Chains A and B, each alone.
Chain A
């Protein structure tokens, strides 16, 4: 009974995703499906970055680098796997298994990079960490540009189109689930404690560097998975897609969503992915309006869409609610 209770939501969600997948028009014919997948990828990126920037209170601006690593690794692998097929199973199953394999390997490579970057640099103070992650993202991009084996500046093409709605949203679901479970665990509490007061957390016996590195690695892993999924429906990867601006876009989603709020990150990712698409008709006025919109949104809701809470905590009927961390975070700038 326990097992059924634990796994029923997973099974139900996957089943519903499969049904929706059948009902949706093909990715290649409908622009809206394409945008829907872009939304999914950005949700994954925002939720995973939220673990570091939102929950743990660190400041990473190199998420696009992890995404690129995962994406390129997965694509590189699946281009080679595409020539094979597993015996005795239908084509679709074989492809699905290959996709999962490629994604996991991509995620692991990104996670490993997260470990390598995180171990020395998470001892640094906030803004210095930001610069290290920024530098890391740029280095990854320059290395890709100079690597002929993955197409260099030209990009990597002919990636097998294995990811569709089901794959991307299963990825979103797993990311949300893991993120949620992590937050509810001892780990999550430790991470929140680090955000609220690192010194106090340390004094309470929290191994701050260890927890920060772990959060960083998990976050990088999911960014890598997102990159892999992205590669498998775009079918093209180019270093241009993984610039510093891309990392910034993800940071904006986390902050706008409210630091540490998963549902906030999701909502902000949805809004900020759809907004430029809706603004597309504005042509060249689009990016200027987007910039203005960011400023106005932040001025109107300075602590993010939901503050640091989750969407369901806003319902007045709920009695359970977290202490108001907003006030605590709102110390005047410059004070220690």
Chain B
């Protein structure tokens, strides 16, 4: 019995010593619903208010680190440019970045830390929609706007009115490729190879299937893989036997390069089609010539003469020694949309910044003209590109 009491005391000492700040709020164990209606008190701003504080959560380590680091570089570059140009309203931006190892629970606690310890005024992140969905409730509850550079799942911004994104959503991008395959390439037998571990890939293939079958095409076979797999020959052999005219492969470049070259080894000659996850110089490095004649949808083409885009590509190469991928470009745009909002906002307080971000219209980003609609999603046209020896050849533009 004595031990029991001792144990209880030890457990309590453990809990009590963590208690550092107190607040009269919250009298029940229940926490507020992650809905727009709950009023949470604004965080006390720290005394030195001479910078705009921006927080970023990304997978800087772990298996998805290649995506997180690209995004981080894009954000860093944008911030450096804005600060070198004198900042916004005379104040410079300060970035605090936390790593979440690609895990949703880490993303949630990192976001809370940014908000409650570092008092950031806007949060940028994540790539994976699963992680963005974990970050959104803390942002929404604390009235800190969040901009996701590249989470495409529709559910992300549905969490609340403080959550924005600067990328396409899955329904749009899946539809784009389905229309292109049917109308431009005149295909009617397509197979799908999707990544079960990625909500992005699942979303795109779902909407591709919907649109493509509505247009009169058939999905002859569907197979799947898991992010990070190395051997895809079993699935490819299965798809090959269905003799599709093309294979829709909405994945990320690190898998796509390997998949396409294994497909060619097996004697599959049908072209592959994909989404903006393909956009990386790494894709050509991994896939090489086997990618020739494949198509993917993207925000813009790196051959676009738009001086802003060309300057971004050149600057990024100079800073990080490699050309930017889509994730870097989206990170860059997310940061610049945020900066633009700070310039227009009445103050740096959450609701004002939110208001300003929501009012983003025809913003001239490197990933196209960004307008945020009433659901806080970016509306912008998509281009379809063909790959030829590592070059992206422009095919067509499809408006939302």
Contacts and interface: CB of A to CB of B under 8 A. Distances in A.
Query: Is there direct touching of A and B in the complex, by C-beta distance under 8 Å?
Result: yes
Interface of A: 5, 9, 12-13, 16-17, 20-32, 34-36, 38-39, 92, 95-96, 145-146, 152-155, 157-158, 160-167, 169, 172-173, 176-177, 180, 230, 233-236, 238-241, 263, 266, 270, 277, 280, 283-284, 286-287, 311-312
Interface in B77-108: 97-99, 101-105, 108
Given A23-B22, A31-B116, A34-B112, A92 B15 contact: no
Contacts of B115: 29, 31
B104 A9 contact: no
B43 A153 contact: no
Contacts of A39: 18
Nearest to A159: B34
Given A29-B142, A240-B102, 5 more contacts: A29-B41, A38-B105, A180-B3, A234-B134, A270-B14
B60 A284 contact: yes
B104 A155 contact: yes
Contact of B109 (A12, A23, A34, A160): A34
Nearest to A236: B134
Interface string B5-35: 1111011101110111111011111111110
A32 B20 contact: yes
A25 B31 contact: no
Contacts of A13: 8, 11-12
The secondary-structure label for the interface of chain A is helix
B196 interface: yes
19 contacts: A9-B5, A20-B19, A23-B22, A25-B21, A26-B23, A26-B26, A26-B31, A26-B32, A29-B41, A29-B43, A36-B18, A38-B109, A145-B226, A153-B196, A154-B133, A167-B29, A180-B3, A284-B69, A284-B99
Given A161-B34, A180-B3, A283-B60, A25 B23 contact: yes
A157 B109 contact: no
Contacts of A161: 30-34, 137
Interface in B118-177: 129-130, 133-134, 137-138, 141-142, 153, 155, 159
Interface of B: 1, 3-8, 10-12, 14-16, 18-23, 25-34, 40-41, 43, 60-62, 65, 69, 97-99, 101-105, 108-110, 112-113, 115-117, 129-130, 133-134, 137-138, 141-142, 153, 155, 159, 196-199, 202-203, 226
B133 A28 contact: no
Given A145-B196, A154-B129, A163-B29, A31 B19 contact: no
A241 B103 contact: yes
A164 B25 CA distance: 13
B291 to A, nearest CB: 26
B19 A24 contact: yes
Contacts of A163: 29
Given A157-B155, A286-B99, A312-B3, A28 B31 contact: yes
A153 B108 contact: no
Contacts of A5: 1
A286 B102 CA distance: 13
A36 B15 contact: yes
Nearest to B22: A23
A140 B18 CA distance: 35
B26 A236 contact: no
Q: Which residue of B15, B27, B110 has the most chain A CB atoms within 10 A of its CB atom?
A: B15
Top 4 nearest A-B pairs (CB, nearest first) are A164-B29, A26-B26, A31-B113, A31-B112
Contacts of A22: 26-27
B109 A28 contact: no
B7 A176 contact: yes
A233 to B, nearest CB: 7
Nearest to B4: A9
Nearest to A169: B15
Contact of A287 (B1, B27, B29, B62): B62
A316 B389 CA distance: 75
A227 to B, nearest CB: 12
Nearest to A280: B98
A177 B11 CA distance: 11
B130 A154 contact: yes
Contacts of B112: 28, 30-31, 34
B251 to A, nearest CB: 12
B349 to A, nearest CB: 16
Contacts of B129: 154
Given A34-B108, A241-B103, A280 B113 contact: yes
Contacts of B3: 180, 312
B116 A29 contact: yes
A153 B202 contact: yes
B130 A235 contact: no
A16 B110 CA distance: 29
Q: Which residue of A27, A233, A238 has the most chain B CB atoms within 10 A of its CB atom?
A: A238
Contacts of B141: 28-29
Contact of B4 (A35, A146, A177): A177
B31 A280 contact: no
A299 B247 CA distance: 52
A216 B196 CA distance: 31
Nearest to A177: B4
Q: Which residue of A5, A28, A92, A241 has the most chain B CB atoms within 10 A of its CB atom?
A: A28
A126 to B, nearest CB: 29
Given A25-B26, A26-B26, A31-B109, A155 B34 contact: no
Contacts of A169: 11, 15
A267 B104 CA distance: 25
A29 B40 contact: yes
Contacts of A29: 23, 25, 40-41, 43, 115-116, 141-142
Contacts of A234: 104-105, 108, 134
A271 B29 CA distance: 25
A135 to B, nearest CB: 16
A17 to B, nearest CB: 7
A79 to B, nearest CB: 13
A262 B28 CA distance: 30
Given A161-B30, A235-B34, A153 B8 contact: no
Contacts of A35: 109
Nearest to A286: B99
